[in-house]
Amino acid sequence: MFIMDDGIRLNIRLDMPLQQQNARCPMVIVIHGFTGYMEERHIVAVSQTFNSMGFSTLRAEMYGHGASGGKFENHTLYKWISNILTVIDYARKLDFVTDLYLCGHSQGGLTVMLAAAMKCDVIKGVIPLSPAWMIPEEARSGIFLGRNFDPDHIPDALPGWGNHGLKDHYLRIAQSIHVEDAIRCYNGPVLIIHGDQDETVPVEYGIKAADMYRNSKLVLIPGDTHCYDHHLDQVLRAIRDNFPFRTV
């Protein structure tokens, strides 16, 4: 199913709770990471876990990803922010939805951290999974996908870096984002889950974010990687046991 964000179609998928008690239920919006999509193993598993807990889920694919519109090379964090704000407004207008939560993995985790601050009046809790909130800081210091560049002279294209060429706008926009401000602005419950062998987003970022949020809980998954190759079951259990911070 598609919704539009200012001319860009966004691919979304609604799943209802497995055993619905009432006509109305809470909802979790679930966002994939950089190069990700809604059918990734860990995104599906997390979404199904929420469904088993009595939540509806709305998985959404962001600009340049999955079946949504836009080219990968043109995606930026501002476009993703615009997309998720549109998804949030769509979810709010569904008449069966009670409380609204955000969950995102990696770059999607960063996106939900930023969006929660912007929509702190409507978002009841946030679950950032291995959130890639070092992206803006690294963009300012000249690191992108583990490689160095001159942060004061960003090349027009970021060529030959895997299959994932990106326009310079990605980094220029990333440089302008200050995640600490968003962390300070959100007072609701924040459950952060992070594998301590994450090869993409150092676990220190999960630890630091949990420390900075006013109302947070951190669950580290010993031995696990960025996409939970070894202990996805522990990630799902952490969600079940600690959902901010058990409301249903």
Chain residues binding ligand FER by CB under 6 A are: 33-34, 106-107, 132, 135, 138, 144-145, 200
> Minimal distance in Å, beta carbon 155 to ligand FER?
15
Q: Three-state SS string across 189-201, please?
A: CEEEEEECCCCCC
Give Cβ neighbours of residue 147 (< 8 Å, ≥ 6 apart): 161
Cα separation of 244 and 235, whole Å? Answer: 14
Under 8 Å between Cβ of 29 and 102: yes
CA angle 29, 17, 124 (to 5 degrees): 40
- Nearer to ligand FER among residue 5 and residue 138 (C-beta): 138
> Minimal distance in Å, beta carbon 145 to ligand FER?
4
- Nearer to ligand FER among residue 35 and residue 52 (C-beta): 35
Cα separation of 43 and 107, whole Å? Answer: 13
- Nearer to ligand FER among residue 26 and residue 128 (C-beta): 128
Under 8 Å between Cβ of 195 and 228: yes
> Minimal distance in Å, beta carbon 143 to ligand FER?
6
- Nearer to ligand FER among residue 15 and residue 138 (C-beta): 138
> Minimal distance in Å, beta carbon 178 to ligand FER?
17
